Amino acid sequence: MSRGHECLGEILGIDESSRTARFGGTIQCDGYSAYTAFVERYGPIKLAACLAHIRRKFWEARKEAPETVLPILLTIQRLYEIEAQLRQSQAPPECRRLVRLARSRIIVEELKATIVEKRSQHLPRSLMGEALDYTLAQWERFEGYLRDGRLEIDNNLVENAIRPTKLGLKNHLFIGAAEAGAASALLYTLVANSKTAGIDPEWYLAEAIRRLRPGSTQEQIAALTPVRLAPVLKAERLARESAVDQAAAA
């Protein structure tokens, strides 16, 4: 499957009566034009930029213009340090929003001022010029993370989660059919979400299948997704371990 906007329609769904996307949230992505084309055609969807992709552009230009790149990379690092603190404290979305507005916004404004200042000092087709232009083009989508605590500062979490599928693309020569590809994508999603929820994927799949009953309702099936089943499994394991400890101490 490619990243063309036709494939996005297959993933997000299109309401044929209104010709709008059934998905109405935010997509965090790089600056690939297919995302913009899809949103312009099928909205309403918001796009959020990825700071990791922005940073990569400057990293690639570091040898060409080190005196410009270094201050920009250091400023970006300050934003990531704040995000690391939020992640370590497991801050909820509203807390993340308030902290970002109080601490990150001034750094973001400083970063933009630097980029605007440096833009006229580099040729458009130079690596540095391309990095500056890319960042300015993505700016409105990037700074949106300040006002929405549900968003990440980048989409590295997703990038890392789908990396095995890219390896599979090279190795799974005979996946079978489009339906088999969809089944594979579903399985990859469950595995990746299990890891994100902090449980072993094999353990999760075994427990989810064991608890799945014929005729299950949509709500019952939703309760078996990794994000909802993980706390249950962890609590059950903790209870078993506690019972074993009590029995051993008796």
Co-location of 41 and 79 in the same domain: no
Co-location of 63 and 125 in the same domain: yes
Rounded to the nearest 10°, the torsion over CA 82, 86, 88, 92 is -170
Q: What is the pLDDT of residue 173?
A: 66
Q: Is residue 164 part of a domain?
A: no
Structural domain harbouring 210: 177-249
pLDDT tens readout for residues 132-171: 999 999 999 999 999 999 999 999 988 887 777 777 767 7
Of 31 and 153, the one with more pLDDT: 153
Q: Is residue 13 part of a domain?
A: yes
Dist. CA 130–CA 67, nearest whole Å: 16
Q: Is residue 163 part of a domain?
A: no
Helix (H) or strand (E) holding 120, with range, is: none
Indicate the SS3 state at residue 108.
helix
Q: Which two tokens stand for residue 249?
A: 């101490």
Co-location of 97 and 138 in the same domain: yes
Q: Is residue 225 part of a domain?
A: yes
Co-location of 207 and 226 in the same domain: yes
Co-location of 60 and 135 in the same domain: yes
First to last CA, the chain: 59
Co-location of 127 and 60 in the same domain: yes
Q: Is the separation of the CB atoms in 65 and 168 below 8 Å?
A: no
Q: Is residue 14 part of a domain?
A: yes
pLDDT tens readout for residues 49-79: 999 999 999 999 999 999 999 999 999 999 9
Co-location of 40 and 101 in the same domain: no
Last-in-domain residue among 93, 128, 146? 146
DSSP annotation of 215 reads: T
Co-location of 132 and 60 in the same domain: yes
What is the dihedral sign for C-alpha 223, 225, 229, 233?
positive
Indicate the SS3 state at residue 23.
coil
Angle 51-60/66-88 helices, nearest 10 degrees?
150
Q: What are the φ and ψ backbone dihedral angles of 14, each rounded to 5 degrees?
A: -120, 130
Co-location of 44 and 55 in the same domain: no
Co-location of 184 and 215 in the same domain: yes
Contacts of 136 (CB under 8 A, 6+ apart): 115, 116, 119
Q: Is residue 172 part of a domain?
A: no
Q: Is residue 156 part of a domain?
A: no
Query: Is the pTM here over 0.85, yes or no?
Result: no
* Proportion of the chain above pLDDT 70, given as a percent: 95
pLDDT, the chain, mean? 90
Dist. CA 219–CA 26, nearest whole Å: 24
Rounded to the nearest 10°, the torsion over CA 125, 128, 129, 130 is 70
Q: What is the pLDDT of residue 111?
A: 98
Q: Is 223 exposed, middle or buried (0-12, 13-18, 19+ CB in 10 A)?
A: middle
Q: Which of 46, 58, 53 is nearest to 147 (CA)?
A: 46
CA-based R_g, the chain, Å: 22
Co-location of 64 and 90 in the same domain: yes
Q: Is residue 241 part of a domain?
A: yes
Last-in-domain residue among 98, 130, 146? 146
> What's the total number of domains in the chain?
3
Q: Does the pLDDT value for residue 1 go beyond 50?
A: no
